[in-house]
Structure 1
Amino acid sequence: MAEDHVRITIEEEQKHNPIVLSPDDHGLLNELALAQETDDTRYSYLFKDEQITKIQRVPEIMLRQRNFKEYYKPREIPIGPLHANSKHLGKRALKAKFTAKFIKNSGQTGEILLKEIKKNINEIKQRFDEIEIHNLALDDERLSRMLFLGGCSILQFIYSYVSHNLLEFKINNGQAALIQQDLFLLENQIPFRVLIVLMNLSSQNYEWIINIYQFIFTNVMAPVNSNSLRRHLMNIKCLIPGENSTQRLFVDKEAVHLLDLLRSELLFGDGRERKHSLQRSNRYELFGDHGHERKLSLQRCNPFSDYKRSFRNVQDLKAAGIKLKPSYTCGLKSVSFTTGFFIAGQLKLPPLIVDDSTARKLLNLVAYEMCPDNYRTNYAVTSYLSFLDSLIASEQDVKDLRSALQNHLSSDAEVAQLFNTIGSNLVPHDAYFDVKNKIQSHYERKCAVWMAQGCNDHCRSPWAILALLAAIAALVLTAIQTYCAMLSKT
C-alpha cells in the first residue's frame, strides 16, 4: 500500500510540474545524435565486403608528443588536398613543370589526361575521408584539377629521380631529399588509383611502373640486394605484358597510396618472403567477413597477452646466451628466434638503415597503421618499433645491434634516443608475441642460462679461455697425481 501511495504521489506531481528540457538539453541530445550518425558512417567498414583505408589526418593519439607534429607536415611540396592551403609551401609552379613534362612523356594531351581523372572522380573521391573533403569545401572540379597536378607531379618526379635527371627542374640534392620524404607523409597522399589512371593512358606505362618500384626500394630503409631487386623487377615485367598492364598488376590488391606500397615492401622484403608471409596471413587479413577478420587480427596482436617477460634489453639477451644475427631477408616480418640443442639461442632481426629520414617514415607508417579504418593492418611496424624499444636501453645495445641496425646518424646514442622516444609513445600491439614467448622459454631453462653466464664470465677473451683451460688442466693433473699416489700405496 505504501509503494502504491508513493507511485500515485509521484505521478500527480509530474502532472502538475512536468519536466521540460531546456535548449541546452536539446543541444546535447542533437550532438549525441550527430555523433551516433557520424560513428555509424565512419565505422561501417566493419560490415562491408570491400573497404580500403581512406586518406585522412594523422590520428590524434599520434600528436600527443609535440616534437612529432612536424614529422607529419610536408616541408617542400604539398601533393594531396589536406595541405593544399599551405601557403608557405605553394610550389604550384614546380608542380606545373612536372605536369607539363609528364604530359610530353606520356604521348597524350593534357586535355585527355584531365578528362580521364574527371571521369573517375567519383570513385577516387571515395578514397578520401568524407569529413575532410567536406571541411575543405572541395567540389569535384577543383579536386580533379588538384589530383591531376598531384598525380602527374608524383610520376614525373619519380621518373626524374630514378633517372638522376632532376637538374632540368633546378632541384638540388637537398630539395630532392625533402620532396622524396614528403611523398611518404600520411597527410600528403593521393589515391594510388590516380597514378594508375594516368599510367594506363601513357604509352610508356611499363617504365612508369618500374620507376615506382625502384623509387620504393630506395626508400624502404633496408639494404636492397641487387639480385633480389633484379628478380623482383623481372617478376613485375612478366605480370604486365600488353595493354592495361598497370590495372592487371594491381588487380589482386591495389595499393592505397605510396605510403601503403612502402609499408608492403618494408614488411615482406623480397618476393620469396612475401609469398610465404601472405600464405600465413591470409586467414587473418584477406578472406572472410572483414569485421570478423579485424577481430582475429586484434586477438593475434592483443596488447594484454598473458606472458612473463624476464629480459629487458640486449645485454640481458647476451647474458642468457642469446646471439643477435641479421636475417637473410629484409622484411620486418622476418624476426625469428631459435634455440640450439644445448645452450645457444639466436635472435634474427631484419637489417634496417637508420638515417635522417627514418624517424619521419616510421612515424607516418605507424600513424597509417593507427587509422581507425585500417582493418588490414596487424600493427607490424608498430610492434617492430616497440620490440626494438624494449631491446635498446643504452648506447651499448645499439653497438651490439650493428649487424641489424646500419647507423648513418652521428652516434649510437642518437639511435638509442630515436627508438626510445618513438617507442615510448606507441600504443602496444604485440605482433611478435610468438618470438617473445620463445625467448622467455629460453630464459626459463635455468641450466642453459647458467652455462651461458659461465661462458660469458670465463670465455670472453682468448686469455680468459687459456686461463680456464690451464685451471682445468691443473685440476686434472692434480687428480691424476693423487690417484697414482693412492694406487702406489695399495
Structure 2
Amino acid sequence: MSSVMLPWAIYTLDSIAQPICELSFPGSMDAASSPDETIVPIPPLPQEIMPERGAFRERLCNTNERLESRILMIQTRIHRFPHRLRGIGGEHKSYIVPSVVAIGPYHHGQPHLQEMEEVKQAAAYRLLQGLGCTVEEVYQKILSVASDARRCYDDALPLVEGSRLSDAEFADMLFVDGCFLVWYLTSNHFDDPLLQWCNQSSGPSLTKDIFLLENQIPWLVLDALMELTKKDVRQFVKEKGAFVLSPTTENNRWWMQWGCIRNRHTDESREGTGAANDMEHYKQPPHLLALLRSVLICNMPKEKRESQLRRINIFPSLSIGAIELVQSGVKLTASASTAMSGGFADMKCQKKKPFFFGELSLSPLFLNDAGVSWLVNMAALESVEKASPARGDVDGYVVSSYLSMLAMLMDREEDVHELRSSGVLNSIFSNAQTLAFFKCLGQHLCPGYNYFNTLDEIDGYMRERPLRIAVHRFVYNNKKTIAAFMSFIGVLATILKALYSLKKP
C-alpha cells in the first residue's frame, strides 16, 4: 500500500500540542465540556511558511493602486484586443496583428514588419524636411510626452530582440511612428513618389493596419506633432472612414480600392485648424481608431450615440431573418444616415402609411478587407472601454449593436441577397463569405441597447398585426401563383367578353 504524506505530517509534536483555536463538534463525551461537544486541537502553521505580513500588505496595496490607475486611464489607454473576441480572426489573427506596418510597441520589431521600418524613417525625414523643422526640435517635443505615453500601454510590453524597450528606444519609436502617420495621413498622393509607391504596393493593407486596436500610439503624441507641423490628421480620417464604409460612386470605389482616399485639394487646406472646425466634439480622442469611430457616429442623436436604454425590461428573444422580415410586411431600406453624414450604425423600425406596414431602415454598409477589419476593431474598442459615460442606462455599444442586427438578419444566403437588393449591404465578398463572417461575428459580440431598442420596435410591430402579417406572408410566398391566376382570369374575361359580343344581334 502506498503511503501519502499529509501536509501536517511535517509538523513537530510540540507544534501539534499547542492549538491556535478550538472547534466544537457534537457527540463528544469530554468531561470538561458539555456532553454534546468535543475539543479538537488545530495545529498552527509552521513559522517558516507564514507570509511576511508587511510585504504581503504592501503587495496588496500596490496591486490596488495599479488597478485604480488603469481604471482612471481606461479612456486613454491603448488596449489589447479582448480575449473573448479573438476567435473572430481565426488562427491568422488578421484583425489583431498588422500585416505591413507596426505602429506603437505591441508589434514593434516583428520580423514580417521590418521592411516598412525604412519607409517610416524616410517618411519622418521627408515630413521634417518639407516643413523646415529640425530633428532635435521635434524629438524634444516627443520626449516631453514620452513618459505619459508609456503609461497608456500595458505594463508588460513585448520583448524586442530579447529585451524591453528602454525609455530612449521608446521615444525613438514614438518619433518615427508619429512622423510617419502625420506624413501618410496629410501628404498629397500625387506629389510624393514614396507615398505613391506605398499606396500602390500595400495601400489597402496600410489602410487596415493604422486602425487596428493594438497598432495605435496615444493621441497626445500626434497632437504634439500636429502642433509643430501645422497639419491635422482628422480630415483624412473623416474622409477615409466615409469612403471606405459607404462609397456611393464608382470613382469613390476606385479611390478606396487603392487606399489613397485623401483630400484632393492642396495641403494648405489642412493647415491650421480650419479643416477641423466641424470636429470640435471629438477634438481629443485617445487614438486614431477612437477618432474613426467618433467621426462615423458623431451626428447620430445623443441617445443612439451613447446606446441608451429606452425603457426597462425590453429584451425580446425575437430572432428573424431578412426574408422572413420582408414576408411579414417589414420593408428593408437603406437609411439616409451614412458614414459620410456621421450617422453610421443608425437603425430604426417604424410604421409606414397607407397600410401601416413596417419599415426597417439601416445605415448602408460597404464591405471590403479594410472595412471588415475596422468594424471588428471598433467593436473591440467598445468592448474594452465602453466609449460612453459610466451610467446604467447607456452602454456605448453603437457599432456592436449595428453589427449584431445585421448578424441576426442573416440566417442563410438568401437573407444576404435580400439585404443587397434593398441597398443596405454592398460587398466585394460572396453571399456565402458575407454570411460566414457575420455569423461568426454575431457569436462573439455583445449587443448593446440600440440593438434591443430596435428589436423591441420590430417585436412590437409583429405582436400588434398578426392577421395582417399572415395575409401579407401568404401573398408574398404565393405571388407568382397569384399573378398567374390573375393573368388567367384576365384572359378568360377577355374571351368571355368576345363571345358575348358575338351573340349580340
Name the structure 1 match of 2:448: 429
Contact persistence 2:246–2:366 (CA under 8 A): yes
1:335 aligned partner = 347
**1:84 aligns with one of 103, 108, 119:** 108
Task: Pick closer, same or farther for the CA change 1:355–1:243 going to 2, 3 Å.
Answer: closer
> CA-atom RMSD, angstroms?
4.2
Write the distance in 2 (CA, Å) between the matches of 1:408 and 1:2: 74
Q: Are residues 1:315 and 2:334 paired? A: no
Pair 58,458 (structure 1): closer, same or farther in 2 beyond 3 Å: closer
Q: 1:70 aligns to what?
A: 94
Shift of 1:369: 1.5
1:365, 1:182 → 2: CA distance?
Answer: 13
- The structure-2 alpha-carbon separation of the partners of 1:454 and 1:33, relative to structure 1 and needing over 3 Å to count, comes to farther
> Which structure's CA Rg is the greater one?
2
Residue 181 of structure 1 deviates from its aligned partner by 1.0
Match of residue 449 from structure 1: 469
In the alignment of these two chains, the number of paired residues is 434
Query: What SS class does the counterpart of residue 188 from structure 1 fall into?
Result: coil
Amino acid corresponding to residue 56 of structure 1 in structure 2:
H
Q: Any unmatched runs of 5+ in structure 2?
A: 1-23, 27-31, 253-262, 390-394, 498-505
Q: Which fold has the larger relative contact order, with Cα–Cα distance below 8 Å and residues 6 or more apart in sequence?
A: 1
Cα offset, 1:62, TM superposition: 1.8
Deviation for aligned residue 1:254: 0.9
Is the Cα contact below 8 Å between 2:386 and 2:396 reproduced in 1? no
- Secondary structure at 2:109 match in 1: coil
Using the size of structure 1 for normalisation, the TM-score is: 0.75
For 1:468 and 1:37, locate their aligned partners in 2 and report how far apart those are by CA, in whole Å.
85
Inter-CA distance 161–315: structure 2 relative to 1 (3 Å threshold): farther
Does residue 1:393 correspond to 2:393, yes or no? no
Which of 372, 379, 382 is matched with 1:369 structurally?
A: 382
Report the more deviating stretch, 424-433 or 180-189. Answer: 424-433
Aligned to 2:371: 358
What is the deviation of 1:198? 0.7
Bigger helix share: 1
Counterpart CA distance in 2 for 1:465 and 1:344 is: 25
SS in 2 for 1:347: strand
Whether the 8 Å CA contact 2:145–2:220 is kept in 1: the answer is: no
Q: Which residue of 2 aligns with 1:486?
A: none
The match for 1:197 is 224
The answer as to whether partners of 1:75 and 1:178 remain within 8 angstroms in 2 is yes
More deviation, 419-428/2-11: 2-11
SS of the residue corresponding to residue 112 of structure 2 reads: coil
Q: 1: distance between equivalents of 2:285 and 2:55?
A: 38
Q: In structure 1, how many angstroms separate the alpha carbons of the residues matched to 2:363 and 2:348?
A: 9
* CA gap 1:141/1:210 in 2 versus in 1, 3 angstroms: same
CA-CA distance at 1:147 after TM superposition: 0.7
Letter of the aligned partner of 2:301 in structure 1? S
CA distance in 2, matches of 1:96, 1:2: 76
Q: Which residue identity does 1:98 align to in structure 2?
A: A
Contact 2:349 2:359 survives alignment (8 Å): yes
Out of 436, 449, 472, the position equivalent to 1:417 is: 436
Do the aligned partners of residues 112 and 428 (structure 1) sit closer, same or farther apart at CA in structure 2, a change above 3 Å counting? same
Distance 2:484 2:56 in 1: 74
Q: Which residue of 2 aligns with 1:383?
A: 401
Matches within 5 A, 1:92-107: 92-107=117-132
**Could you tell me how far apart the structure 1 residues matched to 2:84 and 2:285 are?**
25
Identity within the alignment, %: 24
Shift of 1:101: 0.8
**Which residue is equivalent to 1:258?**
288
How many Å apart are 1:56 and its aligned residue? 2.3
Letter in 1 for 2:469: V
1:53 and 1:373 in contact (8 A); partners too: no
